[in-house]
Amino acid sequence: MLNPVKGFLVEYALAIPPLVLAFEFNPQGLSRSRSVTLTLGNTPATRGGYDFTLPTETARVAQGVAVEPESFDVEILLDATDRMNEDDALARSLGIQPELDTLRSMVEPKTQGPGGLQVLASLGQVGTRAFQRAQSASVLLFVWGQHVLPVFLKGIEVAESAHLPDLTPYRATVKLSLQVIEGNNPFYEVEKVRQTVGAALNTGRTVASALGGLF
């Protein structure tokens, strides 16, 4: 039997404790979205853009465009059943509670201490309002397959489906809401190169297929 595909969330920081979550990942449980906002200027709304004929004219069809960061909704499975059957002491006593605590720690704001170490803002007693000036969101690396994307974890939804006798959960489906951090960082730059290469390969294959059908 094939082992389930693993995905990872890794906090990219000097943190105490370092936060890492491994999970079984089903590609059918991921949805991606990206949107753009177009600036059409004085173009009549019913026409949807300036007139154009040649490819060199298409840059003025819309006067500007703002691209929203790509976002993900991911459903992951956290399940301690196998570890419990293997007599893992931590799983038998705490189920998946450590994994859920890791996710909660990832989504909570952080504050930076001496030496650049980051800790939960709630431990630093820096204030009662979330994300004050001294606080920041965790930068996480979302790792699955060939992708390593820097993201913010914007929300988590947990649906617990099985519990130990003391009501500690040992199986749950978790929905993660992630926003990609786009810009000048090494992880996103590698992803853009991968995307450009993939698009070029697809174009080459499509052209080759079309030319092959002509002869």
For residue 133, the model assigns a pLDDT of 57
CA distance 147 to 190: 9
For residue 178, the model assigns a pLDDT of 94
Distances in whole angstroms, Cα of residue 66 to Cα of each of 43, 177, 199: 17, 22, 22
For residue 164, the model assigns a pLDDT of 95
The 10s digit of each residue's pLDDT in 102-142 is 999 899 888 877 777 778 777 755 455 545 557 888 899 99
For 31, the 3-state DSSP assignment is strand
User: Which residues 6+ apart lie within 8 Å of 10 measured at CB?
Assistant: 19, 20, 21, 140, 141, 143
Mean pLDDT of 45-58: 75
- pLDDT > 90? residue 89: yes
Could you tell me how far CA 12 lies from the centroid of its own chain?
Answer: 13
User: Which residues are 158's β-sheet partners?
Assistant: 174
Give the containing element (helix H, strand E) for 7. Answer: strand 6-11
Mean pLDDT of 61-65: 74
Mean pLDDT of 178-204: 93
Mean pLDDT of 159-176: 94
More confident residue, 81 or 25: 81
pLDDT band at 1 (very low <50, low <70, confident <90, very high): very low
Top mean pLDDT of 131-135, 171-175, 210-214 is at 171-175
pTM: 0.80
- pLDDT > 70? residue 166: yes
Mean pLDDT of 180-206: 92
For 211, the 3-state DSSP assignment is helix
pLDDT band at 161 (very low <50, low <70, confident <90, very high): very high
For residue 121, the model assigns a pLDDT of 77
For residue 139, the model assigns a pLDDT of 92
- pLDDT > 60? residue 18: yes
Q: In terms of C-beta distances under 8 Å and separation of at least 24 residues, what long-range contacts does 34-42 make, across chains too? A: 34/67, 34/68, 34/69, 34/70, 34/71, 35/68, 36/65, 36/66, 36/67, 36/68, 37/65, 37/66, 37/68, 38/62, 38/64, 38/65, 39/63, 39/64, 39/65, 39/66
